[in-house]
Amino acid sequence: MPAPVDGVDQVAYCKLLGVLFQNNFKMEEHVNFLLTQCSQRMYILKQLQHQGMTASQIQTVAQALIVSRLLYALPAWGSYVSAAQMNRIDAFLRRLKRYGYVTRDYCMADFMHSSDYELFRKTLKPGHCLHDLLPVAINILPLRPRGHDFMLPYCVNNLHKQSFIVRSLYNFV
């Protein structure tokens, strides 16, 4: 823990654009907040169902209220989720399916992979705001084909490996 600075309060977590970041890079607070929000929204779906809304309409509302909330900013926080937290989110998704609010079997790992892949593909375009964070491109031909031409960074610690750019460079080679 860094030494306190005069006039600056140290906090255990802060909310930035709807994501709760903890000072220890864990996502316990965010996952708890997220699952609380999604449970409240699931209650809304139950009420809509009792009011006579069709299954198709309920599924559309579930997609808009719950699945979109789980996907929000996922590349920024998803890799810092522990296995236990991932299991809690997956259990919630299974319950959503069991109650008939969604038709597909959703899995948090699939959400993470697809959202990372989609954002990384966008990042590869030179006009993207994250493009400047990519390492230098290499001009030699690799022994096997890769999904990009960038030099893979050397990772010293696990926290560095979990960041979006580094994680994407290794996952989508």
Q: Specify burial of residue 14 (Cβ count, 10 A radius: 0-12, 13-18, 19+).
A: exposed
The β-bridge partners of 93 are none
DSSP-derived letter for residue 63 is I
Residue 45's nearest CA partner among 86, 101, 98 is 101
DSSP-derived letter for residue 25 is S
- 63 CB-side CA count, 13 A: 10
Quote the pLDDT of residue 11. Answer: 86
How would you write the pLDDT of the chain (173 residues) with one tens digit per residue?
667 788 888 888 899 999 999 988 899 999 999 999 999 999 999 999 999 999 999 999 999 999 999 999 999 999 899 999 999 999 999 999 999 999 999 999 999 999 999 998 999 899 999 988 888 777 766 666 666 777 777 777 777 778 888 888 877 76
Q: Specify burial of residue 86 (Cβ count, 10 A radius: 0-12, 13-18, 19+).
A: middle
